[in-house]
């Protein structure tokens, strides 16, 4: 039976959503309300389906996304999501066909990279993606953290924390999230609908629990961070409170805001555990506690995957703390971004262009995705055999140039 890969039209959108739910093992139920909510935010020309006799057996969606680069600049990304292949049609190359089509279109548009959050680690490396950010989740045992039980939730730095509501958050927090991209690489844009979902204005699949919202304002009364969290209202025998505060979102633009919000969460009466949600691996949280072992790592995993489509845009689109030159020989089986490039970088700026000079390092394009946001070490990748060091010492030179003092972080799942 023939399989046709093509863009989905509006009348097929409910079927497409049902196919996505089926692929993600969610009940295949789609309401008119959900369709009406999602459709205006969907670029149908970038919504792919694989059709067999009129039935959708595979799905794929991409959209334009802004990704923060090292130094606060922005890269235009082709964000990939909603990837499913029906259990009846898996391992017959359908994902490969949809991916090839989407990446070719992204390259044609001039996007710098493609991005995604991988459901499972082994899926996307073959398409030239590499994990570029990692994430850590902690559970803090507040009673073992060593914090002074007499402390209040008030920051000791002249700032203040105040409770607020969803409406206020929709006004204040988008700017905080946008500013985060200026100080962290790896942050992807969060649009108005993303805020509607996070603040309960839109919710389709699971029942909504209204979270608590609190904003940190500095001495000059400027918002510098916010947190939303829920509590589970649990007590143990003997009338002992045993509440877990679960962070849904914590965006802090200054270290003072980050410190204040964590200490606030660890100061709420009845709260004996704080689940941090997915944080940057170098979040201040564990070391902020007198006893950092009270923050147990519960998740440690890859987060944002990056597929470089335009090498010059990626390497010129970031800043560099030091100066140096690197010649990279990049292999790309798909023919999208491979070749030999010379990078001349300094704190004043960088240029990157094709060259015929002999290379310092040679590797697959996926490794450049992994290095692109400053997180991974080229020396480590060379030790793993994933980077070939042609000029002795070149991997260490690459680290000095590419790595950053704070690790990239993507707070959003898309
Ligand atoms: C960005 C996102 O949306 S992430 C969500 C991804 N979706 C899911 O995880 C939902 C459940 N899984 C699925 O729907 C499908 O299995 C998919 C989409 C992951 C893969 O689709 P398929 O059409 O089966 O992939 P396709 O046949 O093109 O496979 C290409 C290659 O990747 C490999 N591969 C595909 N999926 C996986 C996997 N989950 N684990 C390991 N290898 C995989 C295949 O074996 C194949 O390898 P080969 O070229 O060596 O033979």
Return the best residue to mutate from 115, 123, 302, 412 for the ligand 1 pocket (most ligand atoms within 8 A of CB). 123
How confident is the model over 150-160, as a mean pLDDT?
A: 89
Active site residues: 124, 414
pTM: 0.97
pLDDT tens sequence across 388-399:
999 999 999 999
Q: Is 95 annotated as a binding residue?
A: yes
Ligand 1 first shell, C-beta below 6 A: 23, 80-85, 90-96, 116-120, 122-123, 126
Residue 85 Cα to ligand 1 middle (Å): 8
Distance spanning both ends of the chain, measured CA to CA: 33
Nearest CA to ligand 1 atom 8: 84
pLDDT tens sequence across 268-297:
999 999 999 999 999 999 999 999 999 999
- Is the separation of the CB atoms in 338 and 331 below 8 Å? yes
Q: Beta 113-117 vs 134-141: how paired, if at all? A: unpaired
Edge to edge, the sheet with strand 113-117 lists 4-7, 47-52, 55-68, 74-85, 113-117, 304-308, 129-131
Q: Is 91 annotated as a binding residue?
A: yes
Nearest CA to ligand 1 atom 48: 91
Atom of ligand 1 nearest to the CA of 90: 24
ipTM of the complex as predicted? 0.98
Per-residue confidence at 156, pLDDT binned at 50, 70, 90?
A: confident
pLDDT at position 266: 97
Identify the H or E element spanning 102: helix 94-109
Mean of the per-residue pLDDT values of the chain: 97
Nearest CA to ligand 1 atom 39: 123
- Is the separation of the CB atoms in 365 and 375 below 8 Å? no
pLDDT at position 118: 98
- Domains delineated in the chain: 4-111 (3.40.630.30), 136-298 (3.40.630.30), 310-402 (3.30.1050.10)
């Amino acid at each position: 039976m023939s399989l046709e890969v093509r863009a989905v039209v509006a009348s097929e959108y409910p079927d497409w959503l049902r196919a996505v739910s089926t692929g993600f093992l969610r009940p295949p139920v789609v309401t008119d309300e959900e369709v009406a909510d999602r459709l205006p935010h969907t670029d149908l020309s970038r919504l792919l389906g694989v059709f067999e006799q009129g039935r959708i057996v595979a799905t794929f969606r991409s959209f334009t996304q802004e990704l923060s680069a090292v130094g606060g600049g922005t890269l235009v990304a082709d964000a990939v999501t909603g990837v499913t292949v029906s259990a009846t049609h898996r391992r017959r190359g359908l994902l490969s066909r949809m991916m090839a089509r989407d990446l070719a279109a992204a390259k044609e548009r001039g996007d710098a990279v493609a991005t995604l959050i991988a459901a499972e680690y082994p899926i996307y490396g073959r398409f030239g993606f590499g994990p570029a950010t990692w994430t850590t989740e902690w559970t803090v045992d507040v009673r073992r953290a060593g914090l002074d039980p007499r402390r209040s939730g008030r920051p000791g730095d002249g700032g203040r924390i105040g409770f607020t509501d969803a409406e206020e958050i929709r006004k204040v927090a988008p700017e905080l999230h946008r500013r985060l991209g200026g100080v962290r690489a790896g942050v992807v844009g969060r649009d108005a609908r993303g805020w509607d979902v996070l603040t309960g204005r839109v919710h389709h699949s699971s029942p909504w629990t209204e979270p608590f919202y609190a904003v940190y304002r500095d001495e000059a009364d400027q918002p510098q961070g916010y947190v939303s969290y829920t509590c589970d209202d649990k007590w143990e025998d003997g009338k002992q409170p045993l509440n877990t505060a679960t962070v849904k979102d914590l965006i802090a633009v200054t270290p003072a805001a980050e410190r204040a919000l964590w200490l606030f969460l660890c100061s709420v009466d009845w709260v004996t555990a704080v689940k941090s949600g997915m944080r940057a691996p170098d979040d201040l949280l564990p070391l902020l506690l007198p006893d950092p072992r009270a923050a147990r790592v519960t998740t440690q995993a890859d987060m944002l995957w990056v597929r470089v489509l335009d090498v010059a845009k990626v390497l010129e689109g970031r800043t560099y703390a030091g100066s140096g030159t690197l010649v990279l020989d990049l292999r790309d089986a798909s023919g999208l971004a491979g070749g030999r490039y010379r990078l001349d970088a300094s704190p004043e700026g960088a240029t990157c262009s094709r060259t015929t000079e002999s290379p310092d390092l040679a590797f697959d394009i996926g490794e450049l995705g992994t290095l692109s946001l400053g997180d991974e070490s080229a020396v480590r990748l060379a030790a793993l055999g994933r980077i070939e060091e042609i000029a002795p010492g070149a991997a260490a030179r690459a680290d000095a140039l590419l790595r950053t003092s704070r690790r990239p972080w993507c707070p959003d799942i898309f």
